[in-house]
Each structure stands twice: as structure tokens, then as C-alpha cells.
Amino acid sequence: MKITVLQSNLAKALNQVAKIVGSRTTLPVLNNILLNAEKGKIKLSATDLEVGISTQTIGKIEEEGRITLPAKLLLDFVMNNKDESVEISTKEMAAGLKSSRFEATIHGISADEFPSVPEAPKEYLAVFPKNELFESLKKVAIAPASDETRPVLAGVYFQFSGRELTLAATDSFRLAEKKIELKNEVGEKKVIIPTRTINEVLRVASSSESDEIALAVTENQASFKIGETYIVSRLIEGAFPNYSQIVPATFKIETKTKAVDLLAAVRMTSLFSRDSANNNVKIVVNKAGLDIASAASQVGTAKSHVPAEVKGEGLEIAFNARYILEVLNVVPDAEIMLNFNDNTSPAVVKLASDAGYTYIIMPLKSEE
């Protein structure tokens, strides 16, 4: 293989795929990135056997070939190299890297040992405007379980039904749901995609110039195509919980307030509860609005007031502050609705500008 690539193009491609490379793998080739130059294309791939990612870039190909090179060393060399272009040429299991000021030799592993990353499918189940799916996934991806003791909770649930997609995620303490209207009828399909895959999709989409995200689903895999980058992932087996029964249909207490004010109040007040087991903050609903309070015997106390429109009687209820902060950090809305029934029932966050989004939080037992 002998190729020449602009440093900026190579750096961008490496940054797209290198995040997948695992640091704890017992299979050495999984620490590497596969470089494949053939048919006029320079393709870079990485995988940890659960998630695979491929992207391609343009450059001059003098000789076709394949090799895998250590991801971290290759990325560091290219990112610290400010020369205009980088030439990569291989001889047996080593690659020579050369630019106008720098030269290096990196030892690699045969491309034959690299696990195959499936090719991008030719047909997709659905194609989304990038910003719509990006914002929707961002609002839902805060809620999956962080461990895999219950695997079905460690991902985002995709339920296709006719011309609607419902995204949902829960860790049993809170639940996020977002409904998206589709352009075309896609039939019935239910899959759970691992959180790590969703985070990769969000990462790639955030820097992509593409206007679309395409999704394909097979029996055991999901594939996302974002511009020149392709992400493929295993699916999580099992049935997602039937959560509809926990979504309140009506509320005894409804409040509307500015999201930025509630975020500031909870963030400031939670400084005094962050060392406690449940990061407990108390919300007191009254006619004047919302009072946010926390107390820690070894630290002190804090209280904040948030003006709000309130319908219904007063209420005192406690939550894990993190669950409130995480939703407020991903909603850009000027106004949100925070609705309650009583201090032992779930509270529901709705957005003034997005009727398709629902966020449910289970309360804590109030600490007197």
C-alpha cells in the first residue's frame, strides 16, 4: 500500500473511528485501525466486536493494500503533525509515515486478523433529517441503565409502527420517551440498540456535515449511515418493559416554568446534597412557584425559589437531583411543564414546544 492523504482529512477520519477502539481488549488487533486502500477509496475501520465503525476519505492511491496499525499511536502522530499531507507506505507488517518534516515507522498486524465490519446496506428502514434524530436521541439517551444487570434496560428502544417511531429508555428510576413522525410507512418493528452505539451515533452526527441519518435493521444488527461514516451494532435481545402503565394520564398539580431558572436552582441547591447517597433535593410546590431545598448534616443547607405558574394544591416531593439536571441539560426549551399527582407517584416533565417528548421521574422517600 502506498497512499498520500491531506493531514486534515486523515485526522478527521481517524477521529471518527478511533473512539471505538477498546483499551481493555485481550485481542491485540482490536487495538488497531484497519486501513484499506482499494478501488480509489481509502477506508478506515475499527471494532470492539460489539460495535463497528467505518469511514472513508479521499487521497492519492499509488498502490492498493491493507494493514492494521495501533489506533492511539497513529492518531497521535497525525494529530500532532501539522504538515499539509501524510504519505503512508507499507512493507510487510510495518508502515512508513512521512510528511515534509517528519518520518516514522509503525509496526502493525496483518489485516487478515482484523474482524470483518459488515458493509453498509443498500436499503434502509428509515431516513431521518439529521438534526431531528440527533435531538431526539439526545433527549432519550440520558435514561438507559448504566450497568447491564438487566440488559434490556442498557439501551434505547426503537418501536416502529406505521408512520411513527417511538424512542424510549429507562433505568427503572426515570424514563424518557420521544415520538417521531416518519415520512413513509415502515410497518411494525421493535429493537433495542445499546447505549454505547447511540452515543457513537450522537458523537459522529455532531460533527458530520451530512443532512441525514439512515437506519437499517436486520435480525440481530442495526446500522446507521451518517455521511461517509457507517456504524453497525449488535442488538440487545429481550423484550423492553411495557412502560405505558406508569405514564400518568392526568395530573392534580401542573406547573409551568422557565427551564433555565429551574436548571440554575436545582444545580445550585444540589451542591449541598451531592455527597448524599441519593443526591436528594426537595421540591415544594406552592402558589408562588417552586422552592428547591437540600440539606446535609455535615455540609449545610440551601434553598432556591423558581417562579412558576401553578394549577392545583401544594405539594412537597423529593428527587435525585441528577435525574432533574440531566433532562434540563438536554432540552433547549424556554418553558417546561413539571406535573405531579402526589409525593409517591411519578412526576412528569413535558416540553412546551415538543408534545412528543415525555420524561418521567420516580420520587424519593422524603428525608425529614
Tell me the whole-structure pTM to 2 decimals: 0.93
Query: Is 118 within a domain?
Result: no
Query: Is 72 within a domain?
Result: yes
Query: Is 367 within a domain?
Result: no
Q: Which domain holds residue 314?
A: 247-361
Query: Is 368 within a domain?
Result: no
Percent of the chain with pLDDT over 70: 98
Q: Would you state the cell numbers that stand for residue 48, as one nine-digit string?
A: 470492539
User: 261 with 238, same domain?
Assistant: no
User: 32 with 107, same domain?
Assistant: yes
pLDDT digits (tens, 9 = 90+) for 237-257: 999 999 988 889 899 999 999
User: 264 with 357, same domain?
Assistant: yes
In the chain, where does DSSP find H-type helix? 7-18, 71-79, 130-140, 195-207, 259-270, 321-328
User: 62 with 107, same domain?
Assistant: yes
User: 208 with 252, same domain?
Assistant: no
- Whether 91 and 105 have beta carbons less than 8 Å apart is answered as no
Burial of 196 (0-12, 13-18, 19+ CB in 10 A): middle
Last residue of one domain, picked from the residues 197, 217, 243: 243
Q: Would you state the cell numbers that stand for residue 164, as one nine-digit string?
A: 411513527
User: 267 with 341, same domain?
Assistant: yes
Residue 141 belongs to a domain with what CATH number?
A: 3.10.150.10
Query: Is 274 within a domain?
Result: yes
User: 228 with 314, same domain?
Assistant: no
User: 37 with 145, same domain?
Assistant: no
Sign of CA dihedral 7, 10, 16, 21: negative
Last residue of one domain, picked from the residues 184, 216, 243: 243
User: 311 with 330, same domain?
Assistant: yes
Query: Is 293 within a domain?
Result: yes
User: 188 with 141, same domain?
Assistant: yes
User: 238 with 258, same domain?
Assistant: no
Last residue of one domain, picked from the residues 243, 274, 306: 243
Total domains, the chain:
3
Q: What's the pLDDT at 117?
A: 85
pLDDT digits (tens, 9 = 90+) for 202-225: 999 999 999 999 999 988 999 999
Query: Is 296 within a domain?
Result: yes
Q: What's the pLDDT at 366?
A: 61
Q: Tell me the pairing of strands 41-47 and 51-57.
A: antiparallel
Query: Is 353 within a domain?
Result: yes
Helix 130-140 and helix 195-207, axial crossing angle in degrees, nearest 10:
140
pLDDT digits (tens, 9 = 90+) for 16-60: 999 988 766 789 999 999 999 998 899 999 999 999 999 999 999
pLDDT at 368 over 60: no
